[in-house]
C-alpha cells in the first residue's frame, strides 16, 4: 500500500468531498442518536484510520476531527509522527504486545485494548499519564482480545488502579457479529456497573463501530470508534 508519510500542516492536501460527506453524515447520525437516547452529552468520535495513509489523517484533521484510532505498531507510530503538530489525540485500539507497550505509550494518549495485568505493568511510567480502557471479550472465543468474566475484570481493574502513570477510564468492547449489538452492549453496561463499584470515576464506554454505533449511543457509549463509515473501504 505504501504509506506516503508526507509533510503536514501545509494545507496542500487536496480535499476529498466524498470523505467530508461521509463524515458529515456520521456526525449527524451520532447527534440524532444522542438526542433520541435523551442524552445531552455527545460521545467522542474517534475516526479509525488504520491501513490508510497519513493524508487521510490530515484531511480529517482539516475537517475538525480531533481523535483518531490505530491498531498496529509501527504503522500507528509512523502516522502519529508524520501528523505531529496537528494536535490530534491518538487512540490505540488493537491487540498490543507487552514488548511494544513502552514504545506505543510514547505517541498515544489512550490504549483501549488493555486485557492483561502484564500489559498494564509494561505501560506503567513516571512520564505523562496514559488513559486506559479495559477490553472485554464479548465473543465465545477465548482467543480474541479482552478479558472474560467478572473475576478477571476485577483483577485487571485492581491492577490498573495500582499502576503508576495510568488513568483507568472505563471499558472497551467489540460487539460479536453473531448477536444483536444491543444484547452484547447490555453486557458491557452491566460490567461497567461492577467496575464503577471499584472505581467510580472509570465510567467511560468505548463501544460502537460503523455498523452498530447507534445501538452503542443508546446504551451510553462515551467513545465511538468508527472506521469505514467515514473513511470508506480500507486499502488492503
Ligand X SMILES: *Cc1c(COP(=O)(O)O)cnc(C)c1O
Binder to ligand X among 209, 214, 217, 219 (CB under 6 A)?
Answer: 209
Q: Phi first, then psi: what are they for 131, rounded to 5°?
A: -75, 135
Q: Which residues lie across from 99 on neighbouring strands?
A: none
Indicate which single residue of 35, 129, 228, 235 sits in contact with ligand X (rule: CB under 6 A).
228
Q: What does the alpha-carbon distance between residue 163 and residue 157 come to, in Å, rounded to a whole number? A: 10
Query: Measured from the CB atom, is 28 or 164 closer to ligand X?
Result: 28
Q: How far is the CB of 9 from ligand X (least distance, A)?
A: 26
The binder of ligand X chosen from 71, 137, 139, 192 (CB under 6 A)? 71
CA 98 vs. chain centroid, Å, equals: 18
Span 82-101, contacts to ligand X by CB under 6 A = 93-94
Is residue 104 near ligand X by the rule CB under 6 A?
A: no
In eight-state DSSP terms, residue 147 is B
Does residue 138 belong to the site contacting ligand X (CB under 6 A)? no
Q: Is 235 in the site for ligand X (CB under 6 A)?
A: no
DSSP class of residue 99 equals G
Q: Tell me the closest approach of the beta carbon of residue 2 to ligand X, in angstroms.
A: 20
Cβ(131)–Cβ(125) under 8 Å? no
Closer residue to ligand X (CB): 71 or 192: 71
Cell of 229: 463509515
6 phi/psi in degrees, rounded to 5: -85, 165
Q: Looking at 22, 62, 210, 232, which residue binds ligand X (CB under 6 A)?
A: 210
Return the number of other C-beta atoms located less than 10 Å from residue 24's C-beta. 12
Q: Is 158 in the site for ligand X (CB under 6 A)?
A: no
Instruction: Choose one: 37-45, 77-85, 121-129, 226-234; the region binding ligand X (CB under 6 A).
Output: 226-234
Environment class of 121 (CB within 10 Å of its CB; exposed 0-12, middle 13-18, buried 19+): middle
CA terminus-to-terminus distance, the chain: 7
Cell numbers that stand for 152 in this block: 478477571
Q: Figure out which of the listed residues 174, 175, 205, 221 binds ligand X, where binding follows CB under 6 A.
A: 174
Q: Judged by CB, which is closer to ligand X: 116, or 225?
A: 225
In this chain, which stretch among 17-25, 76-84, 197-205, 224-232 interacts with ligand X, using CB under 6 A? 224-232
Place of cell 479509525: 48
Of the candidate residues 76, 96, 108, 226, the single one contacting ligand X (CB under 6 A): 226
Give contact residues for ligand X (rule: CB under 6 A). 48, 50, 71, 93-94, 174, 209-210, 225-229
Amino acid at each position: 500500500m505504501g504509506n506516503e508519510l508526507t509533510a503536514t500542516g501545509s494545507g496542500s492536501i487536496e480535499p476529498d468531498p466524498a470523505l467530508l460527506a461521509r463524515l458529515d453524515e456520521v456526525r449527524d447520525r451520532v447527534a440524532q442518536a444522542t438526542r433520541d437516547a435523551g442524552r445531552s452529552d455527545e460521545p467522542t468520535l474517534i475516526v479509525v484510520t488504520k491501513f490508510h495513509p497519513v493524508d487521510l489523517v490530515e484531511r480529517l484533521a482539516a475537517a475538525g476531527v480531533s481523535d483518531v484510532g490505530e491498531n498496529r505498531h509501527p504503522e500507528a507510530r509512523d502516522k502519529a509522527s508524520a501528523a505531529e503538530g496537528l494536535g490530534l489525540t491518538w487512540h490505540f485500539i488493537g491487540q498490543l504486545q507487552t514488548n511494544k507497550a513502552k514504545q506505543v505509550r510514547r505517541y498515544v494518549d489512550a490504549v483501549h485494548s488493555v486485557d492483561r495485568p502484564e500489559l498494564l505493568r509494561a505501560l506503567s511510567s513516571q512520564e505523562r499519564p496514559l488513559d486506559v480502557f479495559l477490553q472485554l471479550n464479548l465473543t465465545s472465543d477465548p482467543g480474541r482480545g479482552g478479558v472474560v468474566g467478572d473475576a478477571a475484570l476485577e483483577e485487571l481493574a485492581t491492577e490498573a488502579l495500582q499502576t503508576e502513570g495510568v488513568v483507568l477510564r472505563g471499558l472497551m468492547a467489540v460487539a460479536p457479529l453473531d448477536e444483536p449489538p444491543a444484547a452484547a452492549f447490555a453486557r458491557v453496561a452491566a460490567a461497567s456497573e461492577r467496575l464503577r463499584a471499584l472505581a467510580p470515576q472509570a465510567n467511560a464506554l468505548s463501544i460502537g463501530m460503523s455498523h452498530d454505533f447507534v445501538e452503542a449511543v443508546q446504551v451510553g457509549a462515551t467513545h465511538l470508534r468508527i472506521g469505514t463509515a467515514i473513511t470508506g473501504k480500507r486499502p488492503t
